[in-house]
Chain A
Amino acid sequence: MPQTNVEKKKKFRSAKRMREIMTEYYIEAKTADQTGKKVAWITSGGPVEPLIVMDVIPVYPENYGAMIGASHMGGDLCAKAEALGYSTDLCSYARADIACALEDGGPIGGLPKPDMLVCCNNICGTVMKWYEIQARLFNVPLFIFDTPFCHVGFADEARRYARTQIDEYIGFLEGVCKKKFDFDQGMEVGRLSLKGQRLWQEVLDAAAHRPSPMTAFDAFFFLALIVTLRGTDKVVDFYTGLLEEMKERVSQGISAVENERYRLLWDNLPVWYRLKWLSDTFASHGACLVADTYTTAWCGSMQYIDENDFIGSMAEAYTRIYLNIGVDEMAKTIFAMIDKYEVDGLVMHSNRSCKPYSFGQYDIMRMVREKKDIPCMMLESHMVDERSFSESQALTRIDAFMEVIRQRDS
């Protein structure tokens, strides 16, 4: 069927560029053994900037997990991990990646083998276990950046511990790469990282406009670069272009969801194998998911970064990210997003794959109802294991939820 003009207008020009960049990136990573570059596997919330300084290619099993989910390969790979003895209740990113690493299955023929592993536990304890497994499998050095959990505030001793580990991390990289760390370049990479984060925040901010030029589903797609390549020119150039596109859309009145009537906030990681279905289902109700807590996490702790001392201040920024804080602190972030994006309802993804993100959601929901008086709903899944998702159940819930929102509107 030919695309209508409306549909054409809705496509982002930047999407093509983004695919090109990601393809180049994965080609470079997959040919590292020929170019002599080292590859580090790193967690999604990990401090990538020192790797960029050392000219090490960062590879993200979690980004790869998202690819697996989006290509509907998660269920099969998770089942393979289960056959190896991994419980079906474990994180589906981890299960899929563990199966891929052993069998070279999955998209793009698997990830390039790591020369080192960098694990930052600011997102969960799961990554520590996951990286232990890969450290045994690949028998390569493992660095754990241990970011003390900040239930309330950031204790002095946690600050010292986190800061000291940046020095240890640099020492670790110098040992594995057998060269000195260039602190001047560290400043430059830090500057680019911060610039990229600011641009990413501005892109997300564009959704505050009514009607919103983008949805959270677009954000889930465009997120890949700020996760994988922050600290490089490429990211800055790309998000500069994407931001321009957002501004154009706003000025031309292009809305991501036709006849946007309701604006919703998404909590937790995406359901990677039902992005389009969820997007279409909400859009059929005139509802746009304008923002989400997940993609905001990659620019949510900028206030702790000292532009003139990136390497010195990054420890705090990495420790105080969205997931590494108490439930009440997370709720405050959600309140602020509800106000900023003028949200009519909250959709919580109860993600069986991510306990630290999901436990506490019921309490946040109660607080949101009390403080913000908006309807909330919950959908349950394993984020890349499509066997766990019930479309009919989700549809019933979404319909009922939208009915409540409609009634309040009238």
Chain B
Amino acid sequence: MDILNEFIEVAGDPGAYARRIRASGRSVIGCYCSYAPEEIIHAAGLHPIRLFGTRGDSGIAEKHLQAYCCSLVREALAESLAGGLDYLDGTVFPHTCDSIQRLSDIWRLNTSHGFFADVVLPVKLTSESARQYLIDVLKRFKRELESSFGLVITKEGLGSSIRTFNTIRSCLSEIYELKSRNPGILTGSELFSIVRASMVMDREELRGKLQALLRKLREDVPGREGRGRRLMLVGNACNHPDIYDLIERSGGQVVWDDLCTGTRWFSGMIREEGDPLASIAGRLFERQVCPSKHKSPTARGEHLLAQAREHGAQGVIFLYLKFCDPHSFDYPYLKACLDGAGIPSMLLEIEDRLPPQGQILTRIETFTQMLGPETRTAFTGASQTGREG
């Protein structure tokens, strides 16, 4: 499928794509977080791009960050210091975890990518005052973009961006739903590439490509039920497409996720009426929560169980970057929620590289084989294969 190959190509080399965008005269703004207000950047005529860091080589960051810092943060800094982000005209740091918070300081003091902004989001997403604060923070960010780049972000521009992003998010949601019902239509690593490319590509181009892909996938559905135990992947940012192949080789298939580079990034729609900044804030406030933000003490457990049931997950793999505090604190609770519902889970903690293939394959195989026989039929709802607790 040609479109699919385009996604795979962009996902494989986001820097090359970003350089082409920049060569066309558009400024490129990078960020590391699913809470970045990309719609505002887009409405300014700038190009928002998600950054992933240089994989597996963060030596150059050792002068700034201790060894007990997660690989995402170390690799992010390493990529910048090594000159790999020469296509950037700016970076944006939404406030999330303690490590990213300090990365922002270190970044501001040691790198030069032009525009720089901290978007100090509220941590507590429960009160009206937090919502108002979030709106004010977005207003400030809009002003900072306007004054730095000498432009005006209009209400119409924001409205148009919101519609574009809504279409993108609804396309990605539908692709995920299709894959959940008919896991054979795409491999896990293909879906990974689609999402990753969506964080990189020009959003108008992306919208068209996603719509075209969806049309194709809808036609493809019959007879693509796929094989393997139905699994859900839960964790932070996933920078390891190989994991999907390993899971599939081990008799599993990922049918849903709760990842920073997955549903957490595209879940939730923005209201298209009313004040655009309030609407953008509204989505950030309501969307599936990252563990570095607070909704309620039980929000993440309830969400995980609901998703696992809805998508008939036979098991859950927690894929965590080592040294990720917010996720690690949630793990015992989330595992207990799954245990209570009779859904087995396993934890894979990875540093900058995946463990040796043989070792990780054995671990995943042991887990998937424990989950009972493979499902070979198309999945139409939780009642069919979901193991209700």
Could you list which residues of chain A lie within 8 angstroms of chain B, going by C-beta atoms?
84-87, 89-91, 94, 121, 124-126, 128-130, 132-133, 135-136, 142, 144, 146, 148-149, 151-152, 155-158, 160-161, 164-165, 168, 326-328, 350, 352, 355-356, 358-363, 380
Contacts and interface: CB of A to CB of B under 8 A. Distances in A.
Contacts, number: 142
Contacts of A148: 95, 120, 122, 133
Contacts of B137: 155, 157
- Most central of B106, B129, B349 by chain A CB within 10 Å: B129
Scoring B330, B333, B349 by chain A CB atoms within 10 A of each residue's CB, the highest score goes to: B333
Interface in B308-331: 322-323, 325-326, 328-331
B129 A165 contact: yes
19 contacts: A85-B331, A87-B349, A121-B123, A125-B123, A132-B297, A144-B126, A146-B122, A151-B105, A156-B136, A157-B137, A160-B136, A164-B129, A165-B127, A326-B105, A327-B105, A355-B98, A356-B101, A359-B98, A362-B64
Contacts of B328: 86-87, 89-90
A89 B129 contact: no
Interface string B324-357: 0110111111010000000000000100000000
Interface string B287-324: 00001101001100000000000000000000000110
Contacts of B105: 151, 326-328, 360, 363
A89 B101 contact: no
Interface in B49-98: 63-66, 68-69, 95, 97-98
A327 B64 CA distance: 12
B123 A327 contact: no
Nearest to B121: A148
Interface of B: 63-66, 68-69, 95, 97-99, 101-106, 108-110, 118, 120, 122-124, 126-127, 129-130, 132-133, 136-137, 139-140, 291-292, 294, 297-298, 322-323, 325-326, 328-333, 335, 349
A160 B132 CA distance: 10
A157 B66 CA distance: 33
Nearest to A161: B133
Contacts of A129: 291, 325-326, 329-330
Contacts of A164: 129
A126 B97 CA distance: 9
Report whether over half of chain B's contact residues are helix, strand or loop; otherwise say mixed.
helix
B102 A359 contact: yes
Given A148-B122, A161-B129, A89 B297 contact: no
Contacts of B120: 148-149, 151, 155, 158
B289 to A, nearest CB: 11
A356 B328 CA distance: 16
A85 B126 CA distance: 28
B130 A90 contact: no
Contacts of B291: 129
A157 B140 contact: yes
Contacts of A359: 65-66, 69, 98-99, 102-103, 106
Given A89-B322, A136-B298, A326-B105, A362 B65 contact: yes
